[in-house]
Amino acid sequence: MRTHLCNDLRREHIGAEIRVSGWVHRRRDHGGVIFVDLRDRSGLLQVVFHPPEEYGAGEAPAFDFDRAHQLRNEWVIAVRGVLRERPEGTVNPELPTGEVELEVLELEVLNQADTPPFQLDEADEVGEDIRLRHRYIDLRRPEMAANLRLRHRVVQTMRRYLDDRDFLEVETPVLTRSTPEGARDYLVPSRTHPGSFFALPQSPQLFKQLLMTAGMERYYQVAKCFRDEDLRADRQPEFTQLDLEMSFLDEEAIMQMMEGMVRAVFDAVGADSLPDPFPRMTYAEATRRFGSDRPDMRNPLELTELTEVMAEVEFKVFREPATSGGRVAALRLPGGGELSRKEIDDYTEFVGRYGAKGLAYIKVNDKAKGSEGLQSPILKFLPEDVVATILERTGAEDGDMVFFGADTRKVVNEALGALREQLARDRGLLAPGWRPLWITDFPMFEWDEDAKRYEPLHHPFTAPYPEHLDKLESDPGAALSRAYDLVLNGAEVGGGSIRIHDPETQRRVFNALGIGEEEAQEKFGFLLDAFRYGAPPHGGLAFGLDRLVALLAGADSIRDVIAFPKTQRASCLLTRAPSEVDPEQLKELGLRVSRTTQGGGS
Amino acid sequence: MRTHLCNDLRREHIGAEIRVSGWVHRRRDHGGVIFVDLRDRSGLLQVVFHPPEEYGAGEAPAFDFDRAHQLRNEWVIAVRGVLRERPEGTVNPELPTGEVELEVLELEVLNQADTPPFQLDEADEVGEDIRLRHRYIDLRRPEMAANLRLRHRVVQTMRRYLDDRDFLEVETPVLTRSTPEGARDYLVPSRTHPGSFFALPQSPQLFKQLLMTAGMERYYQVAKCFRDEDLRADRQPEFTQLDLEMSFLDEEAIMQMMEGMVRAVFDAVGADSLPDPFPRMTYAEATRRFGSDRPDMRNPLELTELTEVMAEVEFKVFREPATSGGRVAALRLPGGGELSRKEIDDYTEFVGRYGAKGLAYIKVNDKAKGSEGLQSPILKFLPEDVVATILERTGAEDGDMVFFGADTRKVVNEALGALREQLARDRGLLAPGWRPLWITDFPMFEWDEDAKRYEPLHHPFTAPYPEHLDKLESDPGAALSRAYDLVLNGAEVGGGSIRIHDPETQRRVFNALGIGEEEAQEKFGFLLDAFRYGAPPHGGLAFGLDRLVALLAGADSIRDVIAFPKTQRASCLLTRAPSEVDPEQLKELGLRVSRTTQGGGS
């Protein structure tokens, strides 16, 4: 149905007879001549239907000009014609094929089209719901097609990189048993075992560790993962990970190999190059300097530690956190003195969402004047030497603003960490380019105040540093793990660790988490069994593919790099899934519905 | 932990200091010297631990010889040593590394191992249940590791072939709406919409057609598919397809491109080359000659049509099917005259499983003697000229056996088709090599006698030949489709078709299937909607990856080419899935269990 793709055609094809097929992207009628921008997967080509009266006697091509007249946007056609140079003054320098056009000799309408629910170039103006409901039209937009092409290129580059390094792609089960990631599993009732359920995997974690035990040594998979969680932020109930695991390699070798892969991906898609090697930072330094374990390094703002400075002050709001295991920190915003009262109020409300009870600040008008040159509601509570220390440590200059956080470590880090990001966005402080960063030396556990017990910061198979083994019992909160996360421009794009591979260490970690022998055996018995039969040292990681591609695409949401995403309410507007099912099906599964809501919808 | 893989080491490395890591594959003690075959993902290397007394004073390496003495099968170790030439008479020509051995200087035990539940080289003697329960040990067997390696190579070759031809790999949803393939869907209850369910896809059929409507033009995916069906034969509840779809190509172009891909795969894995082009056969010819639409072309046996010959005979058993739309056919087995009474009885019982009421036969002892030279219980019912026609048409020679089938077409084809396969297996008649075959010109529909209506032979989106459009109403059973299946050595490895792309034809096909407007809208409304907005001509196919790899691996079951398969009862012996779940989880889903059986188990 075609000899060429639209975008293949250039000046050198002038005079050739060509067949192309595709969609009517735009149609114009200029003085009786019909111009169509024909679109196929490669791009656009101008196609011209001259009316019969423009030809000499017996010279007019045989196609039905009335039919050409009927053509509308999104009709599917095949045309045969001769490629011509565009007349002077009609060249379109914005289009790769802008110097040529196809003079049509033959027209075949392959399919008609109703007027689409939205025009391709007006997608930004319709709601996302309309785009998702008619995704087959939305994906025709060159931006969306380019996103899927980019995703393809990213995945194929990863695969080739890994193939070249002797990795095997192995498929692990989708119908499996509950995994221990913590979020809720999607369950799948079994007809052959009524009353029993499979779970969809939250990750292939256990299976990839089993593959290492099976001697596979180097495994990867582009794996669908599932979490039935409340869809805060930009998440999807099903998402895709590049999942990897390696044996006989330490974290140094793994991080180097993975850096190489990410660099190869960026090169392959024509993105700006990444540094070699990627910088690294410990979890402790990241939270201290940025209040976050995924700091955006394009952001020049940093936190200043003031906890020990505030231990002696009278001002209770600062002293109490400083003396009870909490944190007091400052965030200097250069030029922030110009913030209005309203803006400061808005930021106060903003940090409140992270649990901060207020947002103390000092506006620096004129340092030379001492206290006189500062403006702040808390100035009167702070001794002069403390104020001097604040100014010195933050490096505040005239015209700056210094914000304060004083609360538990968690609240201060989350509130000032988020404020740091918000300020950079609001004031355009982000440097251009890509800033990858490895975060290392995570704590093994974090204390869950509600449950009154430790929870794993990653998952319970993460190995502690050998020299921290004793802390598993003596001081679990201080034990550091051999985990590493890859952060890119403030987004966590990958995370992994060296795993525990001996049953004894695994038992001690379960013990620190309050998981008894019986519970461990019930939940992970098959993995613990496997470890008894010669598990090699191993480690790995998983990359969030949707997020990585969204970053590369410059997309606002991962939904823009997924062909058929679900809404924030976990439904598919296109197919109206989930939906009600035949009661007979449920009977076969040994199930009864005890509570319903309206199915489908967003 | 290593400088080389075991199987890298050859004579040219003699004298070099080497570090290798892996599993103790075998351990022998010869006169106080410990020999270990060390296994890693590449293969085996002999590693030798000499006792300290073999060294001169101060020359013995520092490793702990007692520790070496403790080594047992499947322990994980790292060793440093010097590569030596093996002493004369100890070279192992069966091993690529058989001329060298590593003299150990340093030993590190990375993990110990309990005695495995079975020895790797005794896996054939333990039941498959034991292998599945300890899959992490089963996969260490070189045969199983080779199967997963082969699978990887097959998939990567397909991907590269398709990448080179501008295909995009696109992921379609796993949590979706019921699809129309006919088998039962696995359902997934939704927590956000209690009482509503997602379905796991039986194939990405509807989504790939939507992608074509979206202008993607060339799509593929290595897609997990799910069917909750009774697991007859060698099936899995989750299986993998290479799924493809193309726009603006006809069946000729699609078949050519796919042949090229399959040839590339066979070349890449070192299999015998495939013919170019693949032979083709219509569905009608295949069922007439072989009683099957997936004939094994390595099998020289063929059916002989006798229906019209039997229309006039008195013998009711033959005349009735011949005159009422059924079929009478013969199957000649060269040399089959030697079959015993017992063997004939067994084959009679065998065809009974396919609904045949008996297995008439004629044994050809001596053709020259006429009826005297034949031996058969039915001879007395058949006129001499009919017997002569049978002998002539079947080409029977002295010493041959001719079997008969007479019943409905379905029973005759299934019974004689199966008998043809069984005879070839029993008597070693299969020619060596690969015999691919395209089957084309399938009927659109087949009559379902129970439901008293037509069912699609493929699926309801398959396009009829344009010249058969009128038969959709006048004679649906005679309408042929633009479908094509790829058969390889008797297994259907791929199947596809040109699809319907206009709403009007789709409506007529639904109509022929007794699917009304409302039902069509309810089930496939989103696809019908999509077709209204400019769907291109398109077609595609899907390859059964598990089956194709199993054929290439020479595996008896697809379970041998799947890392973590399920049993015939759809359970996973390794993880004991499916399993019971916390009642709290069900409550959140708005579900109650009304009937249970013992969960898990095989």
User: Residues near B453 by Cβ (< 8 Å), separated by ≥ 6?
Assistant: B447, B513, B514
* A236 annotated to a ligand binding site: yes
Nearest residue on chain A to B138, alpha-carbon basis:
A214
Residues B574, B135: Cα–Cα separation, whole Å: 7
3-state secondary structure of A285: helix
Question: In this prediction, what percent of chain B has a pLDDT beyond 70?
Answer: 98
pLDDT tens digits, one per residue of B184-220: 899 999 988 888 999 999 999 999 999 999 999 999 9
DSSP H helices, A291-334, are 307-310, 316-323
| Confidence at residue A94, expressed as pLDDT on a 0 to 100 scale | 94
pLDDT for position A399: 97
Could you give the CA distance from residue B540 to residue B255 in angstroms, rounded to a whole number? Answer: 9
- pLDDT value for B1: 85
Q: Is the pLDDT of residue B492 over 50?
A: yes
Q: Report the alpha-carbon distance of residue A510 to residue B284 in Å, rounded.
A: 64
Structural tokens at position A530: 């496997």
DSSP character at residue B378: T
Q: Tell me which amino acid residue A308 is.
A: E
Q: What is the CATH number of the domain that holds B320?
A: 3.30.1360.30
Radius of gyration of chain B (CA): 31
Q: Which of B430, B457, B477 is the last residue of a domain?
A: B430
Min CA distance, B408 vs chain A (Å)? 33
Give chain B positions within 8 Å (CB) of A189.
187, 189
Structure tokens at B411: 């029973």
Query: Is there a domain that residue A490 lies in?
Result: no
**Contact residues on chain A for B141, CB-CB shorter than 8 A:** none
CA dist list (Å): A139 to A121, A123, A268, A383: 12, 10, 23, 62
Pairing assessment for the beta strands B168-169 and B238-247 based on DSSP bridges: unpaired
Taking CB atoms and an 8 Å cutoff, what residues of chain A touch B579?
A: 177-178, 196-197
Say whether residue B530 is in contact with chain A using an 8 A CB cutoff. yes
B63: in domain: yes
Q: How high is the pLDDT of residue A597?
A: 61
Would A64 be classed as within a structural domain? yes
Residues A18, A4: contact at Cβ < 8 Å?
Answer: yes
Residue A55 has, within 13 A of its CA and on its CB side, a CA count of 15
Nearest to B72 by CA among B25, B128, B5, B33: B25
Q: Indicate left, alpha or beta for B570 from its phi (over 0: left) and psi (-120 to 50: alpha).
A: left
Q: What is the pLDDT of residue A58?
A: 87
Cβ-based contacts under 8 A for chains A and B: 378
Instruction: Look up the pTM and report it.
Output: 0.95
For B135, the token pair is 């899959």
Q: Tell me if B102 sits within 8 A of B20, measured CB to CB.
A: yes
Checking if the pLDDT of B181 tops 80, the result is no
First to last CA, chain B: 40
- Residue A572, phi-psi category: left (phi > 0), alpha (psi -120 to 50), beta (remainder): beta
| Contact state of A195 with B596 under an 8 Å Cβ cutoff | yes
Helices and strands (H and E) in chain A: how many: 17, 23
Q: Which residues of B touch A215 (CB under 8 A)?
A: 22-23, 39-41, 139-140, 145
* Per-residue pLDDT tens digits for B31-61: 999 999 999 999 999 999 999 999 988 889 9
Range B499-523 average pLDDT: 91
Low-confidence ranges of chain A (pLDDT < 70): 179-182, 231, 597-602
Distances (CA, A) of A550 to A433, A555, A557: 15, 5, 7
- Decide: A207 and A214 in contact? Cβ < 8 Å: no
Asked whether the beta carbons of A196 and B579 are under 8 A apart, the reply is yes
Say if residues A105 and A81 touch (Cβ distance below 8 Å).
yes
Task: Decide if pLDDT at B376 tops 80.
Answer: yes
Locate all alpha helices (DSSP H) within A48-184, ordered by sequence: 65-70, 128-133, 135-138, 142-163
Residue A403 forms part of a structural domain: yes
Q: Are B591 and A591 in contact (CB under 8 A)?
A: yes
Tally Cβ neighbours within 10 Å of residue B451. Answer: 9
- Residues of B whose CB is below 8 A from A135: 210, 214
User: Are A599 and B195 within 8 A, CB to CB?
Assistant: yes
Distance CA B510, CA B259 (A): 32
Select from B198, B521, B549, B594 the residue whose CB has the most chain A CBs within 10 Å, as the one to mutate to test that interface: B198
DSSP SS3 for B230: coil
Q: Does the annotation place B276 within a ligand binding site?
A: no
Instruction: Identify the domain containing residue B382 by its residue range.
Output: 299-430
B19 is in an annotated binding site: no
d(CA B363, CA B403): 9
| B229 annotated ligand binder | yes
B75 → closest Cβ in A155, A169, A534:
A534
Q: Which of B152, B177, B533 sits opposite A113 (nearest CB)?
A: B533
Residue A304 vs residues A226, A362, A390, A391, A420: alpha-carbon distances, Å: 39, 14, 8, 10, 12
d(CA A395, CA A382): 18
Q: What average pLDDT is seen over chain B?
A: 94
Residue at B41 is within a domain: yes
Other CB atoms within a 10 A radius of the CB of residue B492 amount to: 15
Determine the pLDDT at residue B21: 98
For residue B422, what is the DSSP state?
H
Instruction: Give the CA dihedral A299, A303, A304, A310, nearest 10 degrees.
Output: 160
Any B CB within 8 A of A55 CB: no
Strand pairing category for B100-111 and B374-375: unpaired
Distance from C-alpha of B131 to C-alpha of B129, rounded to nearest angstrom = 5
Residue B231: pLDDT over 90: no
Residue to substitute from B19, B153, B190, interface A, most A β-carbons within 10 A = B190
* pLDDT of B112 over the 90 cut: yes
Question: Do B323 and B400 form a contact (C-beta atoms < 8 A)?
Answer: no
Residue B599 predicted with pLDDT over 50: no
- According to DSSP, the residues that pair with B84 across neighbouring strands are B101
B442 pLDDT more than 90: yes
pLDDT at position B288: 97
What strands, in cross-sheet order, belong to the sheet with A361-364? A303-305, A327-333, A401-407, A361-364, A374-375
Give the nearest partner residue to B563 out of A21, A23, A171, using CB atoms: A171
| CA pseudo-torsion sign A15, A16, A19, A22 | negative
In a domain, B58, yes or no: yes
Q: Which residues have CB under 8 Å from A555's CB, separation 6+?
A: A147, A549, A561
User: Which amino acid belongs to residue B39?
Assistant: R
Return the half-sphere exposure (C-beta side, CA atoms, 13 A cut-off) of residue A486: 28
Does a structural domain hold residue A75? yes
Assign residue A83 the CATH number of its domain: 2.40.50.140
Most A-contacting residue of B533, B576, B582, B597 (CB-CB within 10 A), to test interface: B533
Please name which of A161, A156, A190, A192 lies closest in space to residue A176, comparing C-alpha atoms: A190
Torsion of CA A454, A458, A463, A464, to 10 degrees: -50
How many residues are recorded in chain A? 602
The verdict on A60 touching B (C-beta cutoff 8 Å) is: no
Residue A88 lies in a domain: yes
Task: Tell me what the mean pLDDT of segment B574-578 comes to.
Answer: 93
| Band of pLDDT at residue B124, cut at 50, 70 and 90 | confident
Looking at chain B, the whole-number percentage of residues with pLDDT higher than 90 is: 85
Per-residue pLDDT tens digits for A131-178: 999 999 999 999 999 999 999 999 999 999 999 999 999 999 999 987
Strands in B144-247 per DSSP E = 168-169, 187-189, 197-199, 218-226, 238-247
Q: pLDDT tens-digit profile of B380-417?
A: 999 999 999 999 999 999 999 999 999 999 999 999 99
A546 is in an annotated binding site: yes
Q: In what order do the strands lie in the sheet with B401-407?
A: B303-305, B327-333, B401-407, B361-364, B374-375
Q: Which of B172, B240, B576 sits opposite A171 (nearest CB)?
A: B240
Domain end: B93, B111, B129, which one? B111
Which two tokens mark B21? 């890591």
Give which of B480, B459, B458 is closest to B469, Cα–Cα: B480
Number of domains in chain B: 2
Decide if A146 contacts A104 (C-beta within 8 A).
Answer: no
Which residues of chain A neighbour B537 with C-beta distances below 8 Å? Answer: 1, 76, 110-111
Give the closest-approach CA distance of B425 to chain A in angstroms. Answer: 33
CA distance, residue B104 to nearest chain A CA (Å): 19
Task: Say what the pLDDT of residue A601 is.
Answer: 40
Domain boundary among B384, B410, B430: B430
Cross-chain Cβ contact A176/B1 below 8 Å: no
Inter-chain CB proximity A194 and B596 less than 8 Å: yes
